[in-house]
Amino acid sequence: MNRLTLAVLSVFIPLSTAVAQTTEQLPQPSFPHRWQLNLQTPASPVMEKMVDFHNLLLWICTLISVFVLGLLIYVAVKFNSRANPVPSKTTHNTLLEVIWTGIPVLILAAIAIPSYRLLFFADRIENPEMTLKITGNQWYWSYEYPDTEISFDSLALPDDKIDVSKGQHRMLEVDNELYIPIDTSVRLLFTATDVIHAWTIPAFGVKNDAMPGRTNESWVRATKIGKFYGQCSELCGVDHSFMPIVVNVVSKDQYKAWVASKKQSASAEPATKAASAEPTTQLASAQN
């Protein structure tokens, strides 16, 4: 091993272990961390495939970029005015033109095959085990679990309610978090009451528009236990950046316990829309 290799390794080995350690210490498997490269850790089959597709494209882009850079360097060295004082007057070459049109077309066609396959895979699931209906409102989310008749609103926690010592994150925490069981196919239905919103959880590979008067569909089958964060991803008005999403992926038993507790509290005190809408107004006025 030469000195240069040693020097490079001495820089990268501590760096990679440091990154691995901070990732392990995080309570949430997919929370972004400082100096993060690449996408979030995937937590669903769709996102796993998206990461693979992204890596495939990265290789293709890299090879093309290196090839074009090589050609540019070759041309600059071989055909500059000093090396080639009398340039050729050739303007057309049919074979070359067919090749440089045909090869990019073939590359794009080859990329289209896995791309469409993934698009259809992410589109919808044939036999969901449960359904979650997501409604976007200005500016909070409403959730319904039609199978268990649970429904609630989920509003951003204002800054003064964020407790950093508990690992909470500003503008990402909500008062009512979602719960879904692990290894369970969940059909996601999206709609909105006012304007277009978009419900997003990067680690699930889900980003769908919630549109008034329309029901969009997607699905998730969570593969990792933990807390997953997302945000509204469609400019929807003044408080667009204050409608975060928190999904807890828990074991099937924990999910059943959550459903039971949620039903109990719902029967104890029926929540009113007016009461739950109050914090939005507070949040809106706090931002103004």
- Residues forming contacts to Cu ion in the complex (CB under 5 A) are 197, 232, 236, 243
Could you give the dihedral angle defined by the CA atoms of residues 278, 284, 287 and 288, in that order, rounded to the nearest 10 degrees? -120
Give least dist CB 275 to Cu ion, A.
Answer: 21
Residue with Cβ nearer Cu ion (197 or 221): 197
Given a contact cutoff of 8 angstroms between Cβ atoms, the answer to whether 46 and 122 are in contact is yes
Whole-number Å distance between alpha carbons of 81 and 240: 57
Give least dist CB 288 to Cu ion, A.
Answer: 18
Residue with Cβ nearer Cu ion (179 or 190): 190
Residue with Cβ nearer Cu ion (222 or 236): 236
Cβ-based neighbours of 206, under 8 Å, separated by 6 or more? 44, 46, 188, 199, 200, 218, 220, 230
Residue with Cβ nearer Cu ion (222 or 243): 243
Look up tokens 């400082």; give the residue. 34
Residue with Cβ nearer Cu ion (139 or 255): 139
Beta-carbon neighbour count of residue 100 at 10 Å? 10
Give least dist CB 232 to Cu ion, A.
Answer: 3
Give least dist CB 247 to Cu ion, A.
Answer: 16
Give least dist CB 109 to Cu ion, A.
Answer: 37
Residue with Cβ nearer Cu ion (187 or 197): 197
* Amino acid (one-letter) located at 216: N
Burial 171-181 (b: 16+ CB within 10 A, else e): ebbbbbbbbbb
Give least dist CB 137 to Cu ion, A.
Answer: 8
DSSP code, position 163:
-
Give least dist CB 154 to Cu ion, A.
Answer: 12
Backbone phi, psi, residue 133, to 5°? -100, 130
Long-range contacts of 166-170 (CB under 8 A, 24+ apart): 167/27, 169/31, 169/229
Residue with Cβ nearer Cu ion (226 or 234): 234
Given a contact cutoff of 8 angstroms between Cβ atoms, the answer to whether 118 and 49 are in contact is yes
Whole-number Å distance between alpha carbons of 184 and 129: 6
